[in-house]
Structures are given as structure tokens and as C-alpha cells.
Amino acid sequence: MFKPVSVTSDDAAGRVEFVGDAHARVNLIGEHTDYHQGFVLPTLMPQCTTARVQLRTDRMVLAHSTIGDGVHPFVLGDESPGLGWIDYVQGVTAVAARAGLALQGFSVSIDSNVPVGAGVSSSAALTVALLRALRGALGLAIDDIEIARLSQRVETEFVGVPVGIMDQMACSLGRQNEALFIDTRTLAIERIPLPSTIELIVIDSGIKHQHAGGGYAARKGESFAAAAALGAAWLRDVPIDQLPRVDALPTETAKRARHVITENHRVLEAVKALRDGDVARLGELLNASHASLRDDYEVSTGEIDTLAALGQHDPDVYGARMTGGGFGGAVVMLARPGRGRAAATRITDAYRRLTGLRSSILMPLETAQAQ
């Protein structure tokens, strides 16, 4: 299934512009399960990244962003990491060439209102948007799953962060108002409409996460050591009734394994609750996920815990948890419909009083913004 690329205009020189876009994602539940071939349940947010591509006749790439830090040139085949956001453009061309796709030079202008470092996949939105634009411009024979796979390789092979495939699958195949239930082992997906009885809140804590900082890779390593101690290649393969075996492991190893195994199970429970329209149960599962990420996986921070707790205690919120890789970033909450914006405003005000930090409400948008 190809998402259509819009061909917007001919510029003065007669060059056609190919436009690809991709939205930010928020993961509802299923955190740190994807690299264990487990289950995840993300959805898309209104924030979006757009890539506008015009082909050139040589092998130069000229990348420019509306953040206004100039034009960054590089030559296809000469990509080299270490240049900030340009690495995601260079990573796309490097990985696409390695995958055997025939490229030619282009200029690209990137525009985005996806916050960076908020745990809502700004990098996957960029690589997916660019690959969509290039697919249209160059007629590349790649489907949406291949776009997700290539985008993941940009992170793991070029940028050097050992991420799973959730973010790229979400940005490439997700839709707003619909949870995307992904089995990351098979990449099978199921679309589950979000019930009208909930409204999503997403608040950026103001603490920027940094996966390259090493916490993510460290947890990943610890979790694979835990899997090995349980005789499994992936924790996906350790069923929930094996928890007594997990409890017998050394404390830290047991905690890492317990999180992934219970979180995977919570995703399945959340899918059931979504189908049943049981929003109270869904809220409980989000709260339990947060506790597990805080206590067993230890990827939360004091500030994020405060933000999640404020949500969990709000009368219009069913449940709240950190979302994304952790060590900062955003919190997702399930609110009563029509109450999300007011609840989020109460929560961010209280957060500021308690921590001195200014957070921002990413969802729901103010009515004026949403129109």
C-alpha cells in the first residue's frame, strides 16, 4: 500500500517538487518490547514533518530545514555521520544505496512541528517523510514496511542507536485516531480505532531525552543478558506464567526481564480493553506500565514520575504513563472526551509549581490550532 506523494508545483526552472510527510507517534503501551520481538500499540499525533524534494542531474544533495541553519551539501556516496539532523538525510541516502536503490542528487527542504527530544519520534518522522518523497521522485519500488525497515537501518547502521522498529512502523503505517497493534516479530499489523470515549493527552516534560546518551543501549544489553539467563533469545518467548523463574534471578536481571515480560502481556490486555471499550481497564494498564518502567526497567526520571502521577490523580484522567524510550521525553494520558485540554492545563500548571519546569501540551491541540 503506497501512501500517495503529492507533486505540488513546477518552480521557475521547471523542476517538479515531490512532497512526502510523516506524523509524530505516541506509543500508548508496549515500551521496550520491540527489540525483544514483542508487541507495541502506538498511534499518530497531529504534529508532522514534511520533506519537499526536487531532483538534480548530478550526485549532490542540498539539505535545508526551516529551522534556518543554512543549506547543508553532501555528495551521494560520501555520507559521514556527526552533523546533527543532517545525519538523518545522509543516513537515508547511505542506507538506500546499500539496499541497492538507484539514487540521484536532489535538494530537500524539511519543515516540521514535531518537537525534538520529546520521545515522539522526530527522527523517524523525518526519515519516513524523506523516503516517501524520494519514492515518488525516483519511482522507488519500496512499500511502507520497507520504508520502516530502511528508516530503522538509518538509526542502527548510520546514526548508531540500536533502536527497535516501533517508531518507524508507526510513522510509516500508522494513522491518527487509530491504534496500530504491531507484532514486531512478524511486522503483522492490526488497526484498532480509538473509542470516542477517550481523548489523548500528550505532554512534553521539557526534559530532553538522548538515546545516544547510552541509557537505552545499556537497558537493551541488560535485558538480553536477562533473556540469556532464562534460556531465551528474546523475552517475547518467556510466557507470563514463568515469572517465578524470573523472580529467582539476581535482583537487577529479574527487574529487567519482569518489565519486558509483563509489558508485553499488558499490550495484549490493552488491545482487549480497547476492543471492549473498557477505558477504566485501559487506564489501569497505562498506570501499571509506568510503574514497571519506573521501578523495574528504571528508564523514568523524577520529573516524568511527577508528571505521570499528576495525570493519574486528575479526576478527568483514566491513566498516565511515560511514552517512548525514557530518560526524559513525554507522558501520555487517557482523558474523558472534551476534558483533555483543561486537564492537561491543570496538570502542566501543577507540574510547574512542583518542579519549576515548563512543559508543553502536544495533545489535544487548542481548538484554534486543531482547525
Taking CA atoms, 298 is separated from 30, 33, 289, 355, in Å, by: 15, 14, 12, 20
Q: Give, in degrees to the nearest 5, the angle at Cα 362 between 29 and 317.
A: 55
Q: Does 204 engage in binding with ligand GLA (CB under 6 A)?
A: no
Residue 51 engages ligand GLA in binding (rule: CB under 6 A)? no
- In the complex, minimum distance from the CB of residue 277 to ligand GLA, in angstroms, rounded to a whole number: 25
When the beta carbons of 32 and 258 are compared against ligand GLA, the nearer one is: 32
Binding flag, residue 25, ligand GLA (CB under 6 A): no
- The residue among 166 and 198 lying less far from ligand GLA, judged by its C-beta, is 166
* 103 belongs to the binding site for ligand GLA (CB under 6 A): no
The active-site residue, picked from 21, 87, 167, 316, is 167
Site string for ligand GLA, 146-165 (x = CB under 6 A): -----------------xx-
Q: Is 324 in the site for ligand GLA (CB under 6 A)?
A: yes
Indicate if the alpha-carbon torsion angle 89, 94, 100, 104 is positive or negative: positive
Closest CB 268 distance from ligand GLA, rounded Å: 16
* 285 makes contact with ligand GLA (CB under 6 A): no
Judge whether 237 counts as a catalytic residue. Answer: no
Choose, by CB under 6 A, the member of 87, 144, 167, 314 that binds ligand GLA: 167
Binding residue for ligand GLA (CB under 6 A) from 20, 325, 328, 364?
A: 325
Other C-beta atoms closer than 10 Å to the C-beta of 324 total: 27
Minimum gap (Å) between residue 325 Cβ and ligand GLA: 3
Q: Which of 114, 135, 121, 113 is nearest to 20 (CA)?
A: 135
**31 touches ligand GLA (CB under 6 A):** yes
- Pick the stretch among 16-24, 31-39, 101-109, 268-276 that binds ligand GLA (CB under 6 A): 31-39
Task: Give catalytic residue positions.
Answer: 167
Q: Tell me which residues touch ligand GLA (CB under 6 A).
A: 31-32, 34-35, 163-164, 166-167, 324-325
